Copies of this chain bind each other. A is one copy, B any other.
């Protein structure tokens, strides 16, 4: 692949990633994840209380919330708190993050407690939902390690890492980790969430007023698989670093 992108990346190249653990002091797990110019604060908050409808079932719960600072984007967005309701986009994203994180953890082994993963985008340049999943898993794993260190969990409930990346077709070319300008120009936009064993947790591929063939689908899945592997390695380093 010789074609170079706007920021000189090759088609299968991730943006430069950076993970700062312990980014804020109160949360049981906390990271700042940067994928290029996309920056998300992910915190994991443990509560020993479950919401009423989940109590007394011998299992815990993991949920996620997602938000953007109003000026995370090129133009300022009105706060959802000011509008008085969450947008459909926000709900869709936070449901996706929650589902993805729950796929990587044995809720029975977690015990009757809940962990809320908050993903707050402080700067956006495409791929905020996939960065939230990748970073959210790190915060979650650090919080779980804290529970283990405190002797509150007899067994590690984490089943496997979960990480996510966007792939897409831009100018008829499949490519990975789209930045905002690429995303805006994409014919197809796909988010792939996988575990450390190369199995799918979720695949969402959307033609943007366009359609795509099975061959294109396969090309995108190939790209994603490779990228996820790199992310899983980064996660493991960060979790080790953040759990001490």
A: which residues have CB within 8 A of B? Answer: 24-27, 30, 37, 39, 41, 43, 45, 47, 65, 67, 69-74, 76, 79-86, 88-92, 94-95, 99, 102-103, 107, 116, 118, 120, 122-123, 160, 194-195, 197, 199-207, 209-214, 217, 221
Q: Quick one: which of A89, A90, A95, A200 has the most chain B CB within 10 A?
A: A200
Which residues of chain B have C-beta atoms less than 8 A from A95's C-beta? 88-89, 92
Are B84 and A84 touching (Cβ within 8 A)? Answer: yes
15 sample A-B contacts, Cβ–Cβ < 8 Å, listed by A number: A26-B71, A26-B73, A26-B74, A27-B71, A30-B71, A43-B70, A71-B118, A81-B85, A86-B88, A102-B209, A199-B213, A200-B207, A200-B211, A200-B217, A202-B207
Extra pairs beyond A27-B71, A79-B81, A202-B207 (19, CB < 8 Å): A24-B123, A25-B37, A25-B123, A26-B71, A26-B73, A26-B123, A45-B70, A76-B118, A88-B91, A89-B95, A91-B91, A92-B92, A92-B95, A200-B212, A200-B213, A200-B217, A203-B203, A203-B205, A214-B221
Question: Given known contacts A67-B79, A84-B84, A210-B103, is B203 in contact with A72 (CB within 8 Å)?
Answer: no
Instruction: Give complex CA distance A201, B82 in Å.
Output: 26
Q: Say how far A117's CB is from chain B's closest CB, in angstroms.
A: 10
Q: Is the CB of B26 within 8 A of A43?
A: no
Question: What is the CA–CA distance of A32 and B206 in the complex, to the nearest angstrom?
Answer: 27
